[in-house]
């Protein structure tokens, strides 16, 4: 059920572990906590990863993914679920099965396929299963441009007009809404996203922040939106608040000095985060 005044909003993140701490489960837990909800987790894969890239991926045995899911849902009143990295077909099928079984109020799916570093995080043969089994269950999916292009089998758009041509094919994936993240567009001044709902679409404009420290931005944004949904906000407001949070986390990223590559955003950019 959604968050009310006398309950703690609980958000479950189902994703992979990032040993470098900037993305994946680690970024999700930081984000959910910083935005005022309680984070629990189901780990789907262990990655050997740092700010320079991903060197290995070890999927968790599917039966243990199942026992984690049952342990969480049988005890905790989960209001929203965020799904990130799902390493293989068996895990995708299991997560979809459990989402149908437990029917959380909100489901946000970040279809993690390609890391900021360019590393492929989802095997090609698993994409069709993701599209068939999980995406139609989602209230919101949050692909970046390369991920959206992979989902609908087109070339990666280079302009906002080309982004617009993706609206109907993305709607056809079956999710209630799509947040198409435009950060990969070749633009120096803006980083605009397209919120696609069943009967309308809206371009959400944001100023591009000049920093190389953007590791984990997709995980962070989707987790923030799930957190705000769990607190009872409608989708449009949850997306707006999530974008506010990630913009601030990116703008404060250079205050950190983590690693030699693409550093993380600054999830705890103030002692107590409250962007509501």
Active site residue 219: yes
Question: Is 189 among the residues known to form the active site?
Answer: no
Active site residue 217: yes
**C-alpha distances in angstroms, 143 versus 2, 33, 84, 129, 153?**
25, 23, 11, 16, 13
Contact 36, 270 (CB under 8 A): no
Report how far residue 52's alpha carbon sits from residue 212's, in angstroms, rounded to the nearest whole number. Answer: 12
Q: Which of 183, 217, 220, 242 is catalytic?
A: 217
Nearest to 139 by CA among 91, 170, 83, 178: 178
Question: What is the b/e burial string over 132-164, where b = at least 16 CB atoms within 10 angstroms of the residue's CB?
Answer: ebbbebbbbbbbbbebbbbbeeeeebeeeeebe
Catalytic residue among 214, 220, 242, 243: 214
Q: Is 207 a catalytic residue?
A: no
Q: Which entry of 22, 181, 220, 242 is annotated as an active-site residue?
A: 181
**Among the options 20, 21, 216, 263, which is catalytic?**
216
What is the DSSP code (8-state) at residue 253?
G
Residue 21 bears catalytic tag: no
Catalytic residue among 219, 220, 242, 243: 219
- Rounded to whole angstroms, how far apart are CA atoms 230 and 77? 11
Distance CA 124, CA 151 (A): 10
Q: Tell me the three state secondary structure of residue 135.
A: helix
Q: Known catalytic residue: 118?
A: no
Tell me the catalytic residues.
181, 214, 216-219
């Amino acid at each position: 059920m959604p968050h009310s005044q006398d309950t703690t909003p609980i958000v479950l993140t189902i994703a992979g572990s990032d040993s470098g701490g900037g993305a994946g489960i680690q970024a999700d837990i930081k984000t959910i906590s910083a935005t005022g909800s309680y984070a629990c987790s189901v780990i789907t894969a262990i990655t050997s990863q740092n700010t320079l890239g991903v060197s290995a991926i070890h999927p968790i045995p599917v039966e243990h993914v199942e026992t984690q899911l049952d342990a969480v849902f049988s005890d905790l009143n989960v209001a929203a679920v965020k799904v990130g990295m799902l390493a293989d077909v068996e895990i995708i099928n299991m997560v979809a099965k459990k989402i149908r079984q437990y029917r959380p109020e909100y489901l946000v799916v970040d279809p993690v396929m390609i890391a900021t570093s360019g590393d492929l995080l989802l095997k090609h043969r698993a994409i069709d299963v993701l599209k068939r089994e999980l995406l139609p269950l989602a209230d919101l999916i949050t692909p970046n441009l390369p991920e959206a292009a992979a989902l609908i089998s087109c070339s990666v758009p280079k302009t906002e007009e080309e982004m617009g041509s993706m609206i109907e094919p993305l709607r056809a994936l079956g999710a209630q809404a799509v947040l198409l993240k435009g950060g990969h567009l070749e633009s120096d001044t803006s980083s605009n996203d397209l919120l696609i709902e069943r009967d309308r679409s809206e371009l959400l404009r944001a100023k591009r922040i000049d920093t190389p420290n953007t590791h984990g931005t997709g995980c962070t944004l989707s987790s923030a939106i799930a957190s705000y949904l769990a607190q009872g906000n409608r989708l449009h407001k949850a997306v707006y608040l999530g974008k506010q949070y990630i913009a601030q986390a990116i703008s404060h990223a250079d205050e950190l000095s983590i690693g030699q590559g693409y550093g993380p955003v600054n999830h705890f950019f103030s002692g107590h985060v409250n962007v509501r």
